[in-house]
Amino acid sequence: MSPAPRPPRRVVVVLPSAFTLGNLFFGMWAIVSAAQGNVLWAGWFIVFAGVLDMLDGRVARLSGTGTRFGAELDSLVDLTSFGVAPALVMYHLEFASVGRFGWVLCFLYVVAAAIRLARFNVAAQTKAPTTGGWFRGLPSPSAGMTLAVYFPFTQTDVYHESLRYLQFNQQGLAFLMLVLGALMVSSIPYPKFPPLGLRSRKGLLGLLVHVVILAGALLVPREFLFPLGLAYAAFGILRAAVLGWLERHDDDAPPELPA
């Protein structure tokens, strides 16, 4: 008598974890490649890990198969792929020759990623109030992929010709890593990807955002992805600064007198 086929539901449950482990695979490959001196492909492997990280969450939500185990596994994998791997890429690219400062800087970045992910897990376990379509602090995949695509961006004509005054040296990269680490552990809100749809303005906006990012990532990835990462990180800072200024301005305004 042949064994009964496995129910489709069990296969659907396994899919998110399969994407998560694929994320881990590319994160480890990035670490190995960076250690071997191939920082270009190490950066792209972190980007591939980021794509799988996005897919595992979406598959879990669409199929209704999200579990506590999957969430914990995802955080551990993210620490490897978007904390340790980008830090080691930067270390082998720029900071291996500067002694203790180099690995301490990379350690601080990994600490920030670990704190960011631990805080997210605690909030999920305690069912803390969510911020809707916003992240609390810069997401670790965004920070990690921004560092990962720095070296590919430096190989473009855009970097060498049009943006020569923005070229990063070791001090600039150290500052960038510290800023990204600080943003991860901050409480600055960052927007999530808007949902896709054709029946509302928000859905159409989400479709447009996805199409633009997908087109840039596929057609001109070296020129597009690093400026996109910087723009996303800067958006949260500028938005928080503007809202803070408006709030102080409202507090300083004289109270309205009754008519």
- Give the residue extent of every domain in the chain: 8-249
Return the top range by mean pLDDT from 159-163, 168-172, 233-237: 233-237
| Residue 247, number of CB atoms within 10 A of its CB | 10
Kindly report the average pLDDT of the chain as a whole number: 84
pLDDT value of position 131: 58
Q: Model confidence over 116-138: pLDDT tens digits?
A: 999 988 877 775 555 567 899 99
Cα atoms in the Cβ-side hemisphere of radius 13 Å centred on 148:
29
- Dump strand ranges (E) for 104-245: 134-136, 189-191
- Residue 110: pLDDT over 90: yes
d(C-alpha 57, C-alpha 67), whole Å: 11
pLDDT value of position 164: 60
Task: Report the b/e string of 90-106 with b at 16+ CB within 10 A.
Answer: bbbbbbeeeeeebeebb
Percent of the chain with pLDDT over 70: 81
Q: Model confidence over 15-35: pLDDT tens digits?
A: 778 889 999 999 999 999 999
Q: Model confidence over 192-234: pLDDT tens digits?
A: 887 776 777 777 887 888 889 999 999 999 999 999 999 999 9
Is the Cβ–Cβ distance between 223 and 158 less than 8 Å?
yes
Q: In the block, which residue shows the tokens 């305004």?
A: 253
- Point out the least confidently predicted range of 52-66, 85-99, 162-176, 212-226: 52-66
Q: How confident is the model at residue 41 (pLDDT cuts 50, 70, 90)?
A: very high
Cα atoms in the Cβ-side hemisphere of radius 13 Å centred on 251:
6
* CATH class given for the domain over 8-249: mainly alpha
Residue 46 is inside which H or E element, if any? helix 39-63
